[in-house]
A and B are shown apart, each in its own frame.
Chain A
Amino acid sequence: MKKLFSNRYVLAATRIILGAIFVYAGSISIGTPEQFADSVAGYQLLPASLINLFALALPPFEILTGALLIFGWPRRIALFSALMLTIVFIIALSWAIARGLTIDCGCFGHGKPSRSGMWISLGRDVVMVIFLALLYRREWKPAEVSEPAP
């Protein structure tokens, strides 16, 4: 795994795939603000005065972050933003699961509320945060990145 994540092309491909996921997620949510706000409200974390503002801001944030990841500039800021965003998702989902809520995650559009769906979303976010953390760490240790052997 360490060797794989020292390869410049693997790093780039991973970053671009993660960026595309964020752009996709944001693009779906930005078109259905009312349903997305209902999903946000389902977590029971924010007061009514903040739910709609959050629902309006999050999809463009995902799209911007995803686009910056794809284009690779400014890379560290994009990776940090994506990492923090995914950590927030993990905390929110874990909190909802722990409270026994059955909600629609709202991650990729509007779906049926489901406990199994929540666990799947949590698992997916954990995988994403691992990759994002590895990529972000590489930004601080560029000497570890190598070209593939000829």
Chain B
Amino acid sequence: MPDLAGLVILAILALGIGIAVNHFRSKPLPLIYHNKAERLEQAVAAISKETPAVIPTNTLSPVTIATTTPATISHITLEEIKRRSDAKEGVILDARAEFFYQLGHVPGALSLPRSDFETAYAKLKSRLESDKNKLITVYCSGSDCEDSQMVAEALAKLGFQQVAVFKGGWDEWTGAHLPEEKSQ
């Protein structure tokens, strides 16, 4: 059947184009699929290889040890994240894609998208790792979004001790008509 043959040829051509386009991407898709959690684990493992967790003690010289049990992640309310934003307390991280962060985010928040964790973490590394005991607050789009929890768990595995998730996310922040900050 010529139509079926035509479809098969189109499919093969499309696969060839897809593989060729992927080859030239800055971050090509691997052959085997890894889900979001697995990709984030890989990113955390890559970051941990570069930077073993350093926990300063009361002695003069820090003791370098491998990351042990991750800290417990707490959940905070809208009132609490607003208080932290107003007081510029700790670091607030936006786990949504960079595009959405630029459209609007919690004032003072930095972008650490789950989808590009390794690259974004590298940019924030010096600011975040200066004190792994500082307050970290993570949010994403809303209560249906799991990215904030995933990023928080990744940060806990990297040795951050006080990580909290604002589950209501950007939806709850904007729903309360709170101020927004936009990126240039």
Judging by beta carbons under 8 Å apart, are B10 and A64 in contact?
A: yes
Q: A30-B21, A38-B35, A113-B144 are in contact. Are A53 and B2 (CB under 8 A)?
A: no
Q: What separation, in Å, do the CA atoms of A50 and B14 have in the docked complex? A: 15
Question: Which chain A positions have C-beta within 8 A of B22?
Answer: 33, 56
Write out, one digit per residue, whether chain A residues 47-83 have a CB within 8 A of any chain B CB (1) or not (0).
0110111011111110011001000001011001100
| Contact (Cβ within 8 A) B18 A80 | no
Interface residues of B in 98-118 (CB under 8 A from A): 115
* CB atoms of B30 and A52 under 8 A apart: yes
- Residues of A within 8 Å of B29, CB to CB, are 33-34, 37, 52, 55-56
Residues of B close to A52: CB separation below 8 A: 29-33
| Cβ-based interface call for B4 (8 A) | yes
B18 and A57 contacting across the interface, CB-CB below 8 Å: yes
Residue of A whose beta carbon sits closest to that of B18: A56
Binary flags per residue of B29-57, CB closer than 8 Å to A gives 1, else 0: 11111111001000000000000000000
C-alpha gap A57/B8 in the complex (Å): 12
Q: Which of A41, A61, A113 contacts B11 (CB 8 A)?
A: A61
Query: Contacts of A30 on B, CB cut-off 8 Å?
Result: 18, 21
Contact A60:B33 (CB < 8 A) given known A33-B22, A81-B7: no
Q: What residues on A are CB-neighbors of B3 within 8 Å? A: 76-77, 80
Question: CA of A5 to CA of B2 in the docked complex: distance in angstroms?
Answer: 25
Give A residues with C-beta under 8 Å from B: 30, 33-35, 37-38, 41, 48-49, 51-53, 55-61, 64-65, 68, 74, 76-77, 80-81, 84, 112-113
- Ordered by A's residue number, 29 sampled pairs between the chains whose C-beta atoms are within 8 Å are A30-B18, A30-B21, A33-B22, A33-B29, A34-B29, A41-B35, A48-B33, A52-B31, A55-B29, A55-B33, A56-B15, A56-B19, A57-B15, A57-B18, A58-B18, A60-B13, A60-B14, A60-B15, A60-B17, A60-B18, A64-B10, A64-B17, A65-B10, A74-B6, A76-B6, A80-B3, A80-B6, A81-B10, A113-B144
